[in-house]
Amino acid sequence: MTNFTPATIAPSVLGRYAVAMTSVAAPLSGAGTVPTVILADDHDLVRDGLKLMVCAMLPGAQVLEAGNAPALWQLARRVPTPQLALVDLNMPGMERGLRLASLAREQPRLPLIVVSALTSPDVVRRALDVPSVCAFVPKSAGVARMREAIEAALQGRRLDPWLPDAAAAEALPDTGLTPRMQEIRALLRQGLSNKHIAQQLDLSEGTVKNYMSDIFRLLSVSNRTQAAQYNPDTA
């Protein structure tokens, strides 16, 4: 167990998040006692960014880290009273979120915030069906959404759901993109390569390339930049 302080964050990460932290992630009012927070994600940079947010919102919070599902389970069982866990659905051992319900059954009093690059409607709905999940925060979201999620979880309430199907329907009406294609395009818009998209979604790189070809065809575009920037109002 380690207490987190800003000095433990790499300078590059501090620079990346500094503006957002000072403008949005001020200490939460009425947070009560200093909580113990578990951060579960297999990417170091993601955990560093989340630690910075948590530290800014909850000064003095004890932050514990897990890089895979077994480590998360071990922390949840060992720590007497963790008040919150931020969990990535796609880290090793989570089976693309299928084990989230098992964690909730074993630790029903542990509030969970799902933080994920997987944002297809079925993934979001399945996560929010778990009773102890207080919020779903896509990795493409801003600090404000995370602040709302943490505040809701510590207050014992559920944040209004983030609905990718409604957002996608508004952004890309009648394009014919399937939920999986929308998910891949969302990761493309985050700047991920085909290789990294494949890793995030547990697909082969060839399968991702095939999906990309279908996305290009349905959007009538010829490259990744055009697909990421596609706007039906100007197409």
Same CATH topology for 2-162 and 168-229: the answer is no
Collapsing DSSP to helix, strand or coil, 69 comes out as: helix
Cβ contacts of residue 33 below 8 Å, gap of 6+? Answer: none
pTM of the model: 0.65
Q: Check: CB of residue 25 under 8 Å from CB of residue 57.
A: yes
More confident residue, 47 or 198: 47
Distance CA 47, CA 17 (A): 13
Domain 2-162 has CATH 3.40.50.2300: yes
pLDDT in tens, 58-69: 998 999 999 999
pLDDT of 69: 94
pLDDT in tens, 91-102: 999 987 788 999
Distance CA 129, CA 180 (A): 20
Band (pLDDT 50/70/90 cuts) for residue 80 is confident
Q: 1.20.59.10, 1.10.10.10, 1.10.3720.10, 2.40.160.20: which CATH number matches 168-229?
A: 1.10.10.10
Q: In 3D, which of 75, 6, 62 has the Cα closest to residue 36?
A: 62
Map out the domains of the chain as residue ranges. Answer: 2-162, 168-229
Q: Please name the residue ranges forming H helices in the chain.
A: 11-23, 44-57, 69-78, 100-106, 121-128, 143-154, 164-171, 179-189, 194-201, 205-219, 224-229
pLDDT of 48: 93
Q: What is the mean pLDDT of the chain?
A: 80
Q: Please name the residue ranges forming H helices in 63-142.
A: 69-78, 100-106, 121-128
Distance CA 29, CA 58 (A): 9
More confident residue, 28 or 154: 154
Collapsing DSSP to helix, strand or coil, 177 comes out as: coil
Q: Check: CB of residue 76 under 8 Å from CB of residue 106.
A: yes
pLDDT of 121: 76
